[in-house]
Amino acid sequence: MNANHALRILVVDDHPIVRLGIRQMIGTESDLEICGEAGSEQEALQLARTLKPDLALIDLSLEEGTALGLIRELRRSAPAVELLVLSMHDESLYAERVLRAGARGYIMKQAAIDGLVGAIRQVAAGSVYISPTMTQHVLEQFRDSSHGPAGLMATLTDRELEVFDLIGHGKSTAETAAELGVSVKTVETYRANIKSKLKLKDARDLLRFATSWTEGL
């Protein structure tokens, strides 16, 4: 963090009330400031280019676009921007994927009231932030487990997880293909792989499970 100016933060979240809460929380810190807010992947990419923030605080679930795709694109187009993910999703399932995609930290929204400012400062200083209880041992346990929803979900590739998340948000096969920039046939292949890995019988079971998983996290 440059001691001569406040750390400039771009907030990426599609819920205005969440952005308001983050703005109020950060507004009390003299060394931090919100330089911009985005509600979608494309808006975030545009603002990252024009505003050149020091750090982007990204919600894992976006109505338009995907957070993992945004992280990868920001790593390519704005490598100087540090990335911290703020999410309500299960840390044991998503944290490793987020870090592998190029983010430096992952904090769950339940911990944000007490821990967000510290996480921002830690990531801005060049360190990786995950919760104190999130160890490599736990990650390995979840990755290797074949029992229960978390174990089955951990068998999905990053792209399959993105497709699953879009299904859970009600996106059709065509809409998913357009959002990810792939063909409808490719999405159908991903859907078939997901059904097989999660041991689901048909498209109806897939939609039901994806919706309940997304809403339950």
Each residue's pLDDT tens digit, 67-104 = 888 999 999 999 999 999 988 877 777 887 888 888 99
User: What is the domain range of residue 164?
Assistant: 145-216
Report how far apart, in Å, the C-alpha atoms of 201 and of each of 10, 185, 193 are: 42, 20, 12
Total number of domains constituting the chain: 2
| CATH number of the structural domain spanning residue 13 | 3.40.50.2300
- Specify whether 100 is located in the same domain as 178: no
> What's the confidence (pLDDT) of residue 127?
86
Which domain-ending residue is among 106, 133, 160? Answer: 133
- Specify whether 179 is located in the same domain as 91: no
- Specify whether 91 is located in the same domain as 16: yes
Residue 2 lies in a domain: no
- Specify whether 156 is located in the same domain as 196: yes
Long-range contacts at 168-172 (CB < 8 A, ≥ 24 apart): 168/210, 168/211, 168/213, 168/214, 168/215, 169/61, 169/63, 169/214, 170/211
- The DSSP result for 29-90, as a single string, is -TTEEEEEEESSHHHHHHHHHHH--SEEEEES--SSS-HHHHHHHHHHH-TTSEEEEEESS-
Low-confidence ranges of the chain (pLDDT < 50): 135, 137-139, 142, 145-146
> What's the confidence (pLDDT) of residue 144?
52
> What's the confidence (pLDDT) of residue 138?
43
C-alpha 36/C-alpha 117 separation (Å) is: 17
> What's the confidence (pLDDT) of residue 5?
81
